[in-house]
Amino acid sequence: MSIVVMKFGGTSVADSEMIRSAARRAVQARQRGHKVVAVVSAMGNTTDRLIDLAGQITRRPSRREMDQLLSTGEQVTIALMAMAIEDMGVPSVSFTAGQIRIITDDVHGQAKIRRINAHSIVRELDAGRIVIVAGFQGVTETGEVTTLGRGGSNLTLVAVAAAIDAKFCENYTDVDGVYTADPRLVPGARKIDRITYDEMMELSSQGASVLHNRAVGFAKKHNVPIHVRSSLHNRRGTMIVSETEEMERIVVNAVALKKHLAGISLKNVPDRPGMAATVFHALAAAKIVVDDIIQTETTPKLATISFTVDLSALPAVRKLCRKMCRQIKGVTAEFEKDLAKVSVVGLGMRVHTGVAERMFAALASGGINIRDITTSEIKISCIIKRAEGAKALRLVHDAFELGRKKKPAAKTTKKKKTAKKKKTKKKTAAKKK
Ligand code: ADP
Ligand code: ASP
Ligand code: MG
């Protein structure tokens, strides 16, 4: 009996009807002979509402109390989901992270999973129950409640699948699969059938919120394929898998947009060993995640260090940088809070040339100025103004012809129509033969 782990995101369990529908899927998988674990998110936009609620109480809630609050969202869904399954006549049991020991470090709001006690899940599966697990939450060695970062239920999905040796996992969501661009921003985007872990990891880190980048990394490490699919129908979605040779033929597979970035430029930084280390040590100590870093020499003795962070981190970063400016003589700091980043991703970039040129030309055609450029082996990113983000994404998507193939306009002339009729006649004759 193989084990399948499925995850239902917030929109797939948004109300009682959706929860019933998710429950039905879990029951059907069991009827097909699988042992089933379902990881669930908080209902609809519950997490956003809870964050909002905290904001009504205080401007600076502690990270610990935020985790206490946010973890309640998923706890509601697990109980309702287990009830819905039992109501269908199938035994089920729900677990919070504390109950199955999803042990994390103590970084509230961004905790990393260290291990999961698979025994309790396996025991319940062996007893014939469908097991429901709360996504997004963890618990420290000392029993403190943590959360894994926004979108973290994806991580729970993959971590649970790896812990109990599931053959693959299914991520049920509100899109049919992974698209060549966020279909909400690029209506002509096309669904991708298969994509590699590495490409998906880049896409997720560059703003494709459909999967959490750490979840994809975890899946790669444990070689667990992920099937991203719609919770509304049974059609095949996108498989996230290991690389095969032919996958390198596609130069650019998809584009992504990171919408909320802030840029920081530290100017007149003495160009000597240890300066960058000093700057980034301070940021790391404050647990600030830095996006891209660029250092340029302005005079033989001075450099500018520019980097980007998520917009939400700007107040903390501003405070730290101002402190640095007071400590290091001559250094000044400039802040921009209106940035975004557009990226193209594809394995084929390793062997094909001309990708950068094509991307820059697409942006230039829309009069979009590039502030900074960063690259990896399979990705090129441009920092631009946020206001131009959606336009940039569409331009680049078009430049690499990633969209759905347009059907030729249905302009059938009289001549063509007769030809068509003849063809049909021929076909029928052939069939008759
Ligand atoms: P869930 O609640 O199921 O976890 P999310 O809202 O986190 O769902 O992720 C699904 C959303 O991801 C989609 O509605 C879509 O707007 C967005 N998205 C961004 N980039 C992509 C992409 N390349 N392909 C598909 N969806 C994407
Ligand atoms: N409920 C959490 C969030 O909205 C986790 C998740 O849905 O993956 O971010
Ligand atoms: Mg999500």
Q: Please choose from 150, 154, 231 the residue to mutate so as to test ligand 2's pocket, defined by most ligand atoms within 8 A of CB.
A: 150
Task: State the average pLDDT for the chain.
Answer: 91
**Ligand 1, CB cutoff 6 Å, lining residues:** 9-12, 41, 151, 173-175, 178-179, 181-184, 208-210, 254
Nearest CA, atom 21, ligand 1: 182
214 CA distance to ligand 2 middle (Å): 14
The alpha carbon of 71 and the centre of ligand 3 are apart by a number of angstroms equal to 15
238-241 and 372-376 strand pairing: unpaired
Atom from ligand 1 closest to the CA of residue 231: 3
- Tell whether the model's pLDDT for residue 429 goes beyond 60: no
In the DSSP assignment, the letter for residue 289 is P
What is the CA 47 to chain-centroid distance, rounded? Answer: 17
Q: What's the pLDDT score for residue 407?
A: 59
**In testing the pocket of ligand 1, which one of 210, 393, 400 has its CB within 8 Å of the most ligand atoms?**
210
Q: Which of 125-134, 141-150, 165-174 has the lowest mean pLDDT?
A: 165-174
Strand partners, 211: none
Task: Note if the pTM is more than 0.75.
Answer: yes
CA distance 317 to 283: 7
> Which of 208, 217, 212 lies closest to 189 in space, CA to CA?
208
Mean pLDDT of 82-101: 98
Closest residue by Cα to atom 9, ligand 2, is 150
Which ligand 2 atom lies nearest to the CA of residue 41? Answer: 7
DSSP-derived secondary structure letter, 59: S
How many CB atoms lie under 10 A from the CB of residue 229? 21
173 CA distance to ligand 1 middle (Å): 7
Percent of the chain predicted with pLDDT > 90: 81
The tokens for 131 are 């097991």
Ligand lying nearest the CA atom of residue 12: 1
Question: What spacing in Å lies between the alpha carbon of 200 and ligand 2's midpoint?
Answer: 19
Q: Tell me the CA–centroid distance for residue 209 and ligand 1, in Å.
A: 5
CA separation (Å) from 42 to 1, 49, 130, 214, 314? 29, 11, 19, 19, 27
- Name the residue at shortest CA distance from atom 17 of ligand 1: 210
Strand (E) positions, 87-149? Answer: 92-95, 102-104, 113-116, 130-134, 137-139, 145-147
42 touches ligand 2 (CB under 6 Å): yes
Q: How far is the CA of 183 from the centre of ligand 2 (A)?
A: 20
Reported as a pLDDT band with limits 50, 70 and 90, residue 250 is confident
Q: How many CA atoms lie within 13 A of 81 on its CB side?
A: 40
Cα–ligand 2 centroid distance for 152 (angstroms) = 6
Which pLDDT belongs to residue 426? 45
Distance CA 224, CA 161 (A): 7
Predicted confidence band of residue 275 (pLDDT cuts 50, 70, 90): confident
- How far apart CA 106 and CA 306 sit, in angstroms, is 30
* pLDDT at residue 409 in the model: 59
Ligand 2 centre distance from Cα of residue 215 (Å): 13
Q: Which of 404, 406, 400, 405 is nearest to 253 (CA)?
A: 400
**Do the Cβ atoms of 364 and 399 come closer than 8 Å?**
no
Q: Torsion angle, CA of 296/297/302/303, rounded to 10 degrees?
A: 10
Give the angle 92-239-79 at the CA atoms, nearest 5°. 20
Note the ligand closest to the C-alpha atom of 187.
Answer: 1
Please give the distance, rounded to the nearest whole angstrom, from the Cα atom of residue 71 to the centre of ligand 2: 10
Nearest residue CA, atom 4 of ligand 2? 47
Pocket perturbation via mutation, ligand 1, pick of 182, 226, 402 by most ligand atoms within 8 A of CB: 182
352 falls in which pLDDT band (50, 70, 90)? confident
Domains of the chain, by residue range, sit at: 3-174, 256-399
* The CATH fold of domain 3-174: Carbamate kinase (3.40.1160)
Domain 256-399: give its CATH superfamily: VC0802-like (3.30.2130.10)
How many angstroms separate the CA atoms of 191 and 229, rounded? 11
Cβ 135 under 6 angstroms from ligand 2: yes
Instruction: pLDDT band for 413, please (50, 70, 90 cuts).
Output: very low
Best probe residue, ligand 2, of 7, 11, 40, 41 (max atoms within 8 Å of C-beta): 41
CB contact at 8 A, 3 and 38: no
Q: What is the pLDDT of residue 427?
A: 44
- Average of per-residue pLDDT across 319-323: 93
Question: Is the pLDDT at 151 greater than 90, yes or no?
Answer: yes
343, 380 Cβ separation under 8 angstroms: yes
Comparison of pLDDT for 246 and 182, the residue scoring more: 182
Query: What confidence score (pLDDT) does residue 14 get?
Result: 98
| pLDDT score at 272 | 85
Q: Which atom of ligand 2 is nearest to the CA of 42?
A: 1
CA 284 to ligand 3 centroid distance, Å: 26
